[in-house]
Amino acid sequence: MQVIENLKVKEKVYIEKLKNGLTVMIIPKTGVQKKFVIWGTNYGSNDNKFIAPGEDKETKVPNGVAHFLEHKLFEQENGTNSLDTLTALGVNANAYTTNDHTAYLFECTDNFYEALDELMDYVQHPYFTDENVEKEKGIIGQEIMMYDDYPEWQVYLNAMKAMYHENPIKIDITGTIETISHIDKDILYKCYNTFYNPSNMALVVSGDFSPEQILEDIKKRLVENENQGEIKRIYSNEEDSIAQEKIEKKFEVSQPLYTIGIKDQVKDQKEIVKKHLAIEIILNIIAGRSSKLYKKMYNDGIISGQPSLDYEFGKTYAHILITGQCTDPETLYKEFKNEVRKNKEQGINEQDFERIKKMVYGGYVKEYNDVQDIARIFLSDYFKGINPFEYLEEIEGINLKYLNQILTDVFKEEKMILSVVKN
Binding stretches for another protein (CB under 8 A): 8-10, 31-34, 81, 83-84, 87-93, 107-111, 135, 138-140, 142-143, 145-146, 148-149, 151, 251-255, 288-290, 294-295, 298-299, 301, 304, 325, 327, 355-356, 358-363, 365-366, 368-371
Cβ proximity to another protein: between 50 and 294 the closer is 294
Cβ proximity to another protein: between 54 and 362 the closer is 362
Cβ proximity to another protein: between 58 and 148 the closer is 148
Q: How far is the CB of 84 from another protein (least distance, A)?
A: 5
Residue 335 known to be catalytic: no
Q: How far is the CB of 325 from another protein (least distance, A)?
A: 8
CB 239 within 8 Å of CB 170: no
Q: How far is the CB of 106 from another protein (least distance, A)?
A: 11
Distance between alpha carbon 335 and the CA centroid of its chain, in Å?
A: 29
Q: How far is the CB of 357 from another protein (least distance, A)?
A: 9
Q: How far is the CB of 174 from another protein (least distance, A)?
A: 10
Cβ proximity to another protein: between 136 and 264 the closer is 136
Question: Please, which residues have CB within 8 angstroms of residue 363's CB and are 6 or more apart in sequence?
Answer: none
**Beta-ladder partners of 420:** 248, 258
Task: Give the integer Cα–Cα distance in Å for 209 and 345.
Answer: 53
**HEC sequence for the chain:** CEEEEECCCCEEEEEEECCCCCEEEEEECCCCCCEEEEEEECCCCCCCEEECCCCCCCEECCCCHHHHHHHHCCECCCCCEHHHHHHHCCCEEEEEECCCCEEEEEEECCCHHHHHHHHHHHHHCCCCCHHHHHHHHHHHHHHHHHHHCCHHHHHHHHHHHHHCCCCHHHCCCCCCHHHHCCCCHHHHHHHHHHHCCHHHEEEEEEECCCHHHHHHHHHHCCCCCCCCCCCEECCCCCCCCCCCCEEEEECCCCCCEEEEEEECCCCCCCCHHHHHHHHHHHHHHHHCCCCHHHHHHHHCCCECCCCEEEEEECCCCEEEEEEEEECCHHHHHHHHHHHHHHHHHHCCCHHHHHHHHHHHHHHHHHHHHCHHHHHHHHHHHHCCCCCCHHHHHHHHHCCHHHHHHHHHHHCCHHHEEEEEEEC
Cβ proximity to another protein: between 235 and 361 the closer is 361
Cβ proximity to another protein: between 70 and 264 the closer is 70
Q: How far is the CB of 149 from another protein (least distance, A)?
A: 5
Q: How far is the CB of 415 from another protein (least distance, A)?
A: 28
| Catalytic choice (11, 55, 58, 70) | 70
Cβ proximity to another protein: between 71 and 170 the closer is 71
Catalytic residues: 70
